[in-house]
Amino acid sequence: MTEQSLETTDALEAASKAVRAGRPTREQAQARHAQLLDCAFDRFLDKGFEPTTIEALAAEVSMTKRTVYARYPDKASLFRAAIRRGTERRAAKPETIEATRADTLEETLVNIAMLRIQLAGTPEGVRLQRLINTEAYRFPDIFQTYYEIAALPTVRFLAEILENETLAGRLAIEDATLSATVFMSMVVSAPVRFLISGNELPAQDVDQRVRFAVGLFLKGALPR
């Protein structure tokens, strides 16, 4: 190989290394994308949809607007993606839901209700609920997204328990999934709405409300 060819080969290899060094790996790109969504989620919670701008988000995570727009054509699509990721990160894990099982059915139902209330009642959970309520008229799909990720796994878990209790003859429930959904509305929704409204609800009051509602639910589900 001539000296000129060697120099050309060396130059090509150096250029290739430079390109590779400047190009983020797949893991780095995924991490940057996650950072964008996490930042967007925090800003949407803090400021709401309208005041939050893609320009500000891009600057905060040291991205160009072009990079953001290449993945999300508008703020609405970024908003939906941020809500989905934020909900996924804060939803109860399967093992956490499973851990609500107790020695008695009543205690299991109390544990399930308290888990949902505690997750929704955190400062971030409250802000997320408020944001969804505020923007649902503009993005009706975000309510469904939240329900499917945050609530539905617990509803299915509870439905399985109710179905098994019915098969064992201890309950008389015709539609386990519908009954689980009604349970969530009856036992969980009222305390959560109270917290979202900005009122404080002492732990003792939450426990009393939940146990009273669970008792009513079970009485209505007993075999006749």
- The confidence score (pLDDT) of residue 134 equals 93
Residues 212 and 146 in one domain: yes
Closest CA to 110 of 188, 164, 163: 188
Across the range 54-64, mean pLDDT stands at 93
Domain count, the chain: 2
Residues 178 and 150 in one domain: yes
Closest CA to 193 of 88, 121, 115: 121
Distance from C-alpha of 134 to C-alpha of 47, rounded to nearest angstrom: 12
Does residue 191 have a pLDDT over 60?
Answer: yes
Residues 97 and 29 in one domain: no
- The confidence score (pLDDT) of residue 5 equals 44
- Band (pLDDT 50/70/90 cuts) for residue 15 is very low
Distance from C-alpha of 209 to C-alpha of 159, rounded to nearest angstrom: 22
- The confidence score (pLDDT) of residue 22 equals 58
Does residue 8 have a pLDDT over 90?
Answer: no
Residues 108 and 171 in one domain: yes
pTM: 0.83
Across the range 203-219, mean pLDDT stands at 94
- The confidence score (pLDDT) of residue 198 equals 82
Across the range 76-101, mean pLDDT stands at 96
Residues 59 and 106 in one domain: no
Q: CB burial class (10 A; 0-12, 13-18, 19+) of residue 120?
A: buried
Does residue 16 have a pLDDT over 60?
Answer: no
Residues 174 and 72 in one domain: no
Across the range 43-67, mean pLDDT stands at 94
Across the range 182-199, mean pLDDT stands at 90
- Domain boundary, last residue among 37, 61, 89: 89
| CATH code assigned at 84 | 1.10.10.60
Across the range 157-166, mean pLDDT stands at 98
- Domain boundary, last residue among 29, 57, 89: 89
- The confidence score (pLDDT) of residue 49 equals 95
19-35 confidence digits (pLDDT tens) = 444 567 888 888 999 99
* Residue numbers of the domain that contains 31: 3-89
Q: What is the mean pLDDT of the chain?
A: 89
